Chain A
Amino acid sequence: MQAFLILEDGTVFKGSRIGADRDVISEIVFNTSMAGYPEVLTDPSYEGQSVCMTYPLIGNYGICTDDMESSRPWMDALIVREAARVPSNFRSDMSLLKFMEKYELPGIEGIDTRALTRILRERGTMNGMITSDANYDLQAILPKLKAYTCGKVVEKVSCSEKYTVKGVSDLSENGPLSGRAVFDPDTYHPEDTEEPVKHEKRPSLVRELTGIVPDGKGGTRHLSIALLDVGAKRNIAGSLAARGCDVTVYPALTAAEEILASHPDGIMLSNGPGDPKECTSIIEEVRRMYESDVPIFAICLGHQLMALATGADTHKLKYGHRGGNHPVKDLSTGRVYISSQNHGYVVDTDTLDPSVAVPAFVNVNDGTNEGLRYLKKNVFTVQFHPEACPGPQDSGYLFDRFLENVKSAAGMSGVPEGLSCAAAGK
């Protein structure tokens, strides 16, 4: 069935309908990740947006439900050059098209996604409509597109009740370190094992249980981390739990008071969708958390909310950063890391109070802010996604840095013996 993508500036792309046949108006953005579409589909930060994947062949390995970053897709529609008919991967549970049908997600394929991307790059992110109606009336539609705004996105994607994610007690509960099965030829005898060891669990980078600490009674305990879900990807809690932390996930509109009353060892603010400035009441609560002296680590929207809560401003980027190849420089070390990114807004560093916060990370490509270090509090925040999924895992070390902060705040440090991976290397 044919379908049309109509942009706010009057550009019309003709393609074919995939997924649910439903007209949809939303903001149109592009993502340059070459793999990882299941994670993109289920990333709550895309609420209120239709996502164009710049890689032309999408759906090649189907959908593995284990890769979903939340319970369902949140984006308004998916825009691709070519959706795979026959997926191929040992973990594939269903094809992309089945998935879209299952979750009634509309989409369009067969359009020149590069042309669309160039338009968004040149003219900036804009609204658009996907419709199957060949008799669309451009004159009637364009004003609607221009007027469209999507509000209250955070409330939509956040969990409705708080829940907990238990931290692991042993590294072996995680997936393989990175899918490895190490052979020592001198001890390896084929007669012992018919087949090589196979790992079906998704690989985890975690090499040390930095979230388990001495309990002061000769035993150990799991650090408790409160995660404010303003649209959290599953792997934020997952990254903490894999390090041994018990994570309590709170709905976006939870009062700071409630969270602080539970006496968490640390607080995390998650990623999430939309314009941070719309989250006025959440910003107020974040301010209270800031003032609490509990160590805080924030990602993406959480990073922006913290900046707004402490007096800085944010602004919208022309076409945002969405993909898995953005270089960010850690200003304290000069090291550059390739990061996973998904944001349309950015903290305006000119508006920072230098006595409150200073830039900690900068984007090497365009010089925009990628992270802040707060001087008066045990708080640091990043614009990019150390939890990856999809994208590079290079900045996963930031979770460890956060847990170090948590521990030093509580006067603890180091990892109890026996909780680090023997093969940890560096």
Chain B
Amino acid sequence: MPKDTGIRKVMVIGSGPIVIGQAAEFDYAGTQACRALKEEGIEVCLVNSNPATIMTDRDIADEVYIEPLTNEVLEKIIEKEKPDGLLPNMGGQAGLNLGMNLSESGFLDAQGVRLLGANALTIKKAEDRLLFKETMLKIGEPVAPSRVVENVEDGVAFAAQIGYPVVLRPAYTLGGSGGGIAHSVTELRKILENGLRLSRVGQVLVERSIEGWKEIEYEVMRDSAGNCITVCNMENIDPVGVHTGDSIVVAPSQTLSDKEYQMLRTSALNIICELGITGGCNVQFALHPTSFEYCVIEVNPRVSRSSALASKATGYPIAKVAAKIALGYTLDEIKNAITGKTYASFEPALDYCVVKFPRLPFDKFITAKRTLTTQMKATGEVMSICTNFEGAMMKAIRSLEQHVDCLDSYDFSNLSKEELFSRLTVVDDQRIWVIAEALRKGISYGTIHEITMIDEWFIDKLNHLVKIEARLKKGPLTKELLAEAKSCEYPDTVIARLVNRGAAAEAAKAAADDIRAMRLSYGIRASYKMVDTCAAEFEAKTPYFYSVYGENEDEAVEKLTHRKKILVLGSGPIRIGQGIEFDYCSVHATWAFRRAGYETIIINNNPETVSTDFDIADKLYFEPLTPEDVQNVVDIEHPDCAVVQFGGQTAIKLTQDLIKMGVPILGTDAKDVDAAEDREIFDEVLQKCGISRAAGETVFTAEEAKKVANRLGYPVLVRPSYVLGGAGMQIAISDEEIEQFMAIINRYTQEHPILVDKYLMGTETEVDAVCDGENIVIPGVMEHIERSGVHSGDSISVYPARTLSENVRRTIAEYTEKLAKELHVIGLINVQFIAIGEKVYIIEANPRSSRTVPYISKVTGIPIVDLAAKVMMGSKLTDLGYRPGLQPEADYYAIKMPVFSTEKIRDAEVSVGPEMKSTGECLGISKSFDEALYKAFLGAGVVLPKHRQMIITVKDADKGEAIEIGRRFEALGYIIYSTRRTADALKETGVHARQVNRIGQESPTLMDLLLGHKIDLVIDTPTQGRDKNRDGFIIRRTAIETGVYCITSLDTARALVSSLEHASETKNLEIVDIAKL
């Protein structure tokens, strides 16, 4: 069927802020869909509240609304833009829910807008638990016995009928929020109460547990003519019980015979046909490990994290094809862009093995429970490709950037066999390392399988890696052993470490060079193969490569050109502190260099991102970002230069290695980057520029740190250097805390010293700037709502700065310019300051891209990544048409609001502080500051008031400020509950606080209030010292786990009350097309 010519303008909904369970994969899908639509001459209108995305760029969509994703806002935009169709299935669960709301309310029909790629009934059949089950039963597809309950007692009764354990799945939540497995009635009550609260419709599915079955997924495509195909299947190494987002996943399935493979494939096709989906869909199955019995777990009638993975694993662009299907095309009319010959109506054949590994945030949330359940916890993931499973696994492990590079990276050697047995029952992020130790201790495959239910095939492969490890330790290092170790992707550094056990770090490093020299002398080198969708059956056009050892031919060599080449290093997995912003920067830089005539080469390992789409760079190497892996690419490509500024800390860390490889770094010199990080050199730079900073020194040990802290006087800020997102940064108020924090930082060997600074309290401000060596362009000054001490990534950021005097703004611009010049910056620089009155102190300067780059680029309209790339290639800012210096302020406010996912991480600390915790951000934009603030809160999901009841408990030092905030909330009609001391303080000043008891005292306590679902908001400022058992911690956790908004900084509280005070004025929100600013 040809294209439907009735569709000329399409609205695409994005997925909003990055949260656990809904991450960069939707920027990838949305961007690909928008490009596919534009390719067809369709006008694209894009709505997403997330400013860090590529899809919200002016060159991706024609109209761009970075607005809160609510029904009202979308209705307004539709009324204004009058699209012919709405594409809701690119924006994850958030987008789908919105599309369904608009359709069900009749709004779309009334406006004459067609829901594309899905219809409300389809979505409902897939999403509504009961309807889904009925549909499955109708076509004879099995589902586990289950029942939807709306109250705890029904759940208890049903569980008694079907027997424990039971799985609980709340309806309409992201990433399995609030779900879990209950083994007893006590557990059931606990999880069910929470799940009912979190579900959008107050429904939870109670279901017989199929824990331990194989978890298999299929990605299916179907067009309007009813043609359907499966793009790929995937096998979770972790059996049912671990959310697929937290599972190690392999593609294609490895342990399924053709009978099982086809049985499930046919089932997946039957399901997509019955649901009537046109586009892409993900079907998850549980397959009994010793029979043909299976159950359909769930269906996602949209693109998903799994479809992003399947796209990258096969080369089949699911989102693009889904967008074209939405326009009316059939699969046999859509060309396969990889081969240019075949069509989208075929099933990719893989001739390699793909492994996906989750990136879990337990390095950030050290108090959190590491166990993995049906509730997703991973913030991101890495993917790797190799011709064998072992190699793919080893590449994935080192791509994580979590201090792991091998199966001995976590040491469990001290555990006895008995201890290992019990440790194996724990399902957490370290399980495969525990299995490796069990294998070392000679525990049988069968026993490990019985405990973990992981298929023995995988255990055997892990054992192969363990055996190689043992042979490397034992020696001798023969050519054959080296070849085998390399074909299983043992890095040279690990081989050196295992061969030279006990050698000092320096010696081991040198030994790695020896290993490399040795293997090169044997001719053992990496060669590259192509991902081509068809196992070489047809010639592929797009150079998408992965490395292997021990093969005959090198397809990368065949595709070498004599063009001027630039290597762009990506930013690896999405993690807290290094998010989608850096992929935005990498992609824009790539486009800028491509436009300038360079052949662009990207190395990255993140399957969720736009940068790893096959047609972003001229060449894509899907590889880990370690020196050795980069070296292998450099050895083949011999790039003329590389850029590291855009890929976050991942790329910056590779600077020295690239220089050693003889690859010139474009932009700011490496020694100047170091100067900004090195305490002493940077102090000299500051002195030259006449810029002040908080007093401080560098230390290595806790003893030194305590000495410095006492000299400076507490509180002090303690942090490691060369990190992103304030990893390990803490405010210490005592010697004890110093000891505690230093111990945490020194869990890993620190190559760089630790900084101890005097803590200054003031207004934090931030600028991003582009410098060409002579001139500087500063798009604007951003100001943080939260006072210093809260990580910049977790602060509400306001552009243009609102409370700073003209003089302070001038000083900031002047300091930034001086610094950029003194550091010889060519490209980007981010500088953070503290303003105390009229005095400006510097916090830090980073001569590279930052988290705020996409945000400031979008709201000022100054494409700073593009400018940075151009000045790196030698252009001058003045020639590019920019007047140097601080640019004129916009006449609207753009407020960036952090968004957190801490509710998904059991036992993680909620309160904001110097170490970053947020996973994403959204934007509020308006002529009025209060409306912008209101929109920003709305975008972050803070919809108040509901019950007009709140809890305030603050530490003593905050009581004064709390009174003013309490009074303002009271004026808004809020009833305030407080524990005794806060209540007394409020009452003394005439704020009517109701006193409630602390946890553990007799009812009613704070807990009772929270669990009674009558509370809108908790304001709780934590006392110093982090202790999981403190009341505050429990209150904060209970609040966010029950869906109550929890504020831990009084500045945030003030901003919120201010936005609520003006809420009446903002009923009629004004929407802003930023493409027209």
Contact = CB atoms under 8 A, between A and B. Distances in A.
Interface of A: 13, 30, 32-36, 38-39, 54-57, 60-61, 64, 67, 81-82, 84-91, 111-115, 117-118, 121, 175-185, 188-190, 196-203, 205, 323-327, 329, 334-338, 364-365, 388-394, 421, 423-426
A81 B146 contact: no
Interface in B135-168: 137-147, 161-163
B621 interface: no
Contacts, number: 234
Contacts of B445: 86
A35 B261 contact: yes
Interface of B: 137-147, 161-163, 208, 225-227, 229, 252-263, 265-267, 269-270, 273-274, 288-294, 330-332, 341-343, 345-353, 387-389, 445, 455-457, 460, 529, 534-539, 551-553
Given A338-B347, A393-B262, A114 B529 contact: yes
The 6 tightest CB contacts between A and B, nearest first, are A423-B140, A179-B292, A36-B258, A198-B291, A88-B457, A54-B535
B223 to A, nearest CB: 9
A393 B162 contact: no
B291 A199 contact: yes
A13 to B, nearest CB: 7
Given A56-B352, A324-B347, A334-B225, A203 B259 contact: yes
B349 A323 contact: yes
A32 B146 contact: no
B529 A200 contact: no
A65 to B, nearest CB: 12
B447 to A, nearest CB: 15
Nearest to B461: A86
Nearest to A117: B536
Given A55-B351, A84-B457, A203-B259, A190 B535 contact: no
Tell me the dominant secondary structure on chain A's binding face: loop
B535 A180 contact: no
Contacts of A35: 252-253, 256-258, 261
Contacts of A365: 341-343, 346, 538
A123 to B, nearest CB: 13
A425 B291 CA distance: 24
19 contacts: A33-B349, A34-B252, A35-B258, A36-B258, A82-B388, A90-B291, A114-B535, A114-B536, A121-B537, A182-B142, A183-B208, A198-B291, A199-B291, A199-B293, A325-B348, A326-B346, A327-B343, A390-B258, A426-B273
A214 to B, nearest CB: 27
A311 B65 CA distance: 65
Given A175-B292, A200-B292, A389-B258, A323 B537 contact: yes
Contacts of A188: 145, 162
Contacts of A425: 138-140, 270, 274
B552 A112 contact: yes
A50 B56 CA distance: 53
B137 A393 contact: no
B536 A179 contact: no
B225 A86 contact: no
Contact of A54 (B257, B341, B343, B351): B351
Contact of B269 (A89, A179, A394): A394
Contacts of A423: 139-140
B457 A60 contact: yes
A200 B291 contact: yes
Given A183-B143, A364-B332, 12 more contacts: A56-B387, A57-B388, A82-B387, A82-B388, A179-B294, A196-B293, A203-B263, A203-B292, A323-B535, A364-B342, A392-B265, A426-B273
A178 B293 CA distance: 9
A426 B276 CA distance: 13
A179 B535 CA distance: 30
A237 to B, nearest CB: 17
Given A36-B258, A177-B140, A185-B146, A118 B346 contact: no
Instruction: Give the interface centre of A34, A39, A88, A424 by most chain B CB atoms within 10 Å.
Output: A34
Nearest to B539: A121
Contact of B353 (A56, A87, A202): A56
B814 to A, nearest CB: 59
B86 to A, nearest CB: 28
Contacts of A179: 260, 263, 291-294
Contacts of B552: 13, 111-112, 115
Given A32-B535, A56-B388, A85 B460 contact: yes
B266 A393 contact: yes
A200 B263 CA distance: 13
Given A54-B535, A335-B226, A338-B346, A183 B142 contact: yes
Contacts of A335: 225-227
B292 A199 contact: yes
Contact of A114 (B257, B266, B551): B551
Contacts of B347: 324-325, 338, 392
Given A56-B387, A178-B266, A327 B162 contact: no
A39 B85 CA distance: 47
A87 B292 contact: no
Given A55-B350, A56-B387, A391 B332 contact: no
A64 B5 CA distance: 52
Contacts of B257: 35-36, 38, 61, 64, 67, 89, 91
A202 B258 CA distance: 10
Contacts of A183: 142-145, 208
A190 to B, nearest CB: 4
A202 B266 CA distance: 14
A183 B534 CA distance: 39
B531 to A, nearest CB: 11
Contacts of B259: 64, 67, 202-203
Nearest to B389: A57
Instruction: Give the interface centre of B146, B261, B292 by most chain A CB atoms within 10 Å.
Output: B292
B76 to A, nearest CB: 41
B262 A32 contact: no
Contacts of B137: 182, 184
A334 B225 CA distance: 8
A329 B553 contact: no
Contacts of B141: 180
A34 B254 CA distance: 9
Contacts of B225: 334-335
Contacts of A364: 332, 342-343, 345-346
Contacts of A175: 292
B536 A121 contact: yes
B330 to A, nearest CB: 8
A55 B267 CA distance: 24
B262 A388 contact: yes
A205 B162 contact: no
B455 A88 contact: yes
Contacts of B343: 327, 364-365
Contacts of A54: 349, 351, 535-537
A105 to B, nearest CB: 19
Nearest to A198: B291
A327 B339 CA distance: 15
B212 to A, nearest CB: 13
B140 A182 contact: yes
A384 to B, nearest CB: 13
Nearest to B551: A112
A181 B289 CA distance: 14
B227 A336 contact: yes
A134 B675 CA distance: 60
Nearest to A37: B258
Contacts of B143: 183
Nearest to A321: B537
A400 to B, nearest CB: 15
B1039 to A, nearest CB: 35
B796 to A, nearest CB: 47
A126 to B, nearest CB: 16
B493 to A, nearest CB: 25
Nearest to B138: A425
